[in-house]
């Protein structure tokens, strides 16, 4: 018997637009998806994976390396097998079907990173409805790396907010972010200096907007580590955010600690 169910919000995006034209191939990061997921299962929780269209998330090829698992071949092999074969990663539902079936049965929600969530989830109305539910219930809400920008989905018009960011219309974006449920929260996200390295070495182009700036415009207090790619997790009320791929284990621990505390108080 499991302790409780945890909802994982996955992305279906495989391309992200680049400033000046063109796109880059992206996806979710393998370690950011599987390290917290496996930690949750090991801690006694049941997982439900849902995406906008109900198909399995695409794993970004650049994340599919043992290096993202600290060089631990056994951990990498376990993660690969888990994502490929485990029912928790393959019995994928749509976000809408999860909402329609009821969200009260979930103890928490987790959003993995990779660039993909910054394309679809951050402007998905169902993702927004899910986040608003967990916020109102004060249930643990964890987001990793680029995942924290998905909190923008909770806005009344998230697509317009994202479009304003892309157009550089900061004042319009700020207006659209009025009454954001996470305004004033401390949080972290993939930093601008980390993103510059990713743009140069992986994406071969500039992203259409800056992730930390987007959250600051929305009203978040964004805290990033001064050391690029060092593990960094910020917890504020129900919100748990991790800065980068190296934050996978620390974010998993913070989420499990929060879930366990909530269960103990229930």
pLDDT digits (tens, 9 = 90+) for 82-99: 999 999 999 999 999 999
Which band of pLDDT confidence, cut at 50, 70 and 90, is reported for residue 197?
very high
- What pLDDT is attached to residue 50? 98
* pLDDT at position 266: 83
Please report the sign of the dihedral spanned by the C-alpha atoms of residue 248, residue 254, residue 257, residue 262.
negative
Domain 5-265 listed as CATH 3.40.50.880: yes
pLDDT in tens, 27-74: 999 999 999 999 999 999 999 999 999 999 999 999 999 999 999 999
Q: What is the pLDDT of residues 214-255, one digit of tens each?
A: 999 999 999 999 999 999 999 999 999 999 999 999 999 999
Q: What is the mean pLDDT of the chain?
A: 98
CB of 41 within 8 A of CB of 88?
yes
Burial of residue 236 (CB within 10 Å: 0-12, 13-18, 19+) is: middle
Task: Please report, for the chain, the start and end positions of each structural domain, with discontinuous segments joined by +.
Answer: 5-265
pLDDT score at 265:
93
Query: pTM for this structure?
Result: 0.97
- The DSSP string of the chain is --S-EEEEE-----EEE-TTS-EEE--B-HHHHHHHHHHHHHTT-EEEEEESSSSPPPBPGGG-SGGGGTT-HHHHHHHHHHHHH-HHHHS-EEHHHHHHH-STTEEEEEE--SSGGGTTGGG-HHHHHHHHHHHHTT--EEEETTGGGGGGGGSTTHHHHHHHHHHT-HHHHHHHTTT-TTTT-EE--S-HHHHHHHIIIIISS--SS-HHHHHHHHT-EE---SSTT---EEEETTEEEE-SGGGHHHHHHHHHHHHHHHHHH-
pLDDT band for position 1 (50/70/90)? confident
Which are the contacts of 232, defined by CB distance < 8 A and separation ≥ 6? 188, 223, 224, 225, 242, 243, 244, 247, 250
Q: Which residue reads 């637009």 in tokens?
A: 17
Q: Each residue of 254-264: pLDDT tens digit?
A: 999 999 999 99
Handedness of CA 215, 219, 220, 226 (dihedral sign): positive
pLDDT of 21: 94
Residues 122-179 have pLDDT tens digits of 999 999 999 999 999 999 999 999 999 999 999 999 999 999 999 999 999 999 999 9
Burial 242-261 (b: 16+ CB within 10 A, else e): bbbbbbbbbbbebbbebbbe
Query: By C-alpha distance, which of 111, 13, 119, 123 is closest to 59?
Result: 13
The string of pLDDT tens digits covering residues 95-120 is: 999 999 999 999 999 999 999 999 99
């Amino acid at each position: 018997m499991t302790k409780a169910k945890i909802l994982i919000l996955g992305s279906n995006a495989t391309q992200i637009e680049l400033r000046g034209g063109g796109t880059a191939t992206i996806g979710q990061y393998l370690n950011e998806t599987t390290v917290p997921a496996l930690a949750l299962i090991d801690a006694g929780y049941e997982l439900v994976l849902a995406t906008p269209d109900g198909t399995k998330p695409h794993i970004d090829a650049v994340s599919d390396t043992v290096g993202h698992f600290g060089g631990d071949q056994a951990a990498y092999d376990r993660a690969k097998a888990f994502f490929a074969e485990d029912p928790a990663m393959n019995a994928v539902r749509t976000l809408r079907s999860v909402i329609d079936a009821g969200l009260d049965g979930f103890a928490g929600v987790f959003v993995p990173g990779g660039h993909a969530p910054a394309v679809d989830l951050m402007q998905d109305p169902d993702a927004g409805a899910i986040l608003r539910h967990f916020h109102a219930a004060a249930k643990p809400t964890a987001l990793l790396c680029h995942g924290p920008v998905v909190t923008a989905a909770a806005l009344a018009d998230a697509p317009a907010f994202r479009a304003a960011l892309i157009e550089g219309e900061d004042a319009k974006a700020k207006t659209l972010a009025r009454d954001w449920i996470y305004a004033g929260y401390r949080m972290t996200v993939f930093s601008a200096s980390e993103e510059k390295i990713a743009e140069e070495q992986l994406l071969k182009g500039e992203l259409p907007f800056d992730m930390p700036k987007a959250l600051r415009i929305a009203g978040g207090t964004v805290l990033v580590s001064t050391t690029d790619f060092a593990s960094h997790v910020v917890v504020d009320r129900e919100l748990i955010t991790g800065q980068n791929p190296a934050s996978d284990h620390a974010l998993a621990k913070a989420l499990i600690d929060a879930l366990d505390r909530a269960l103990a108080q229930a």
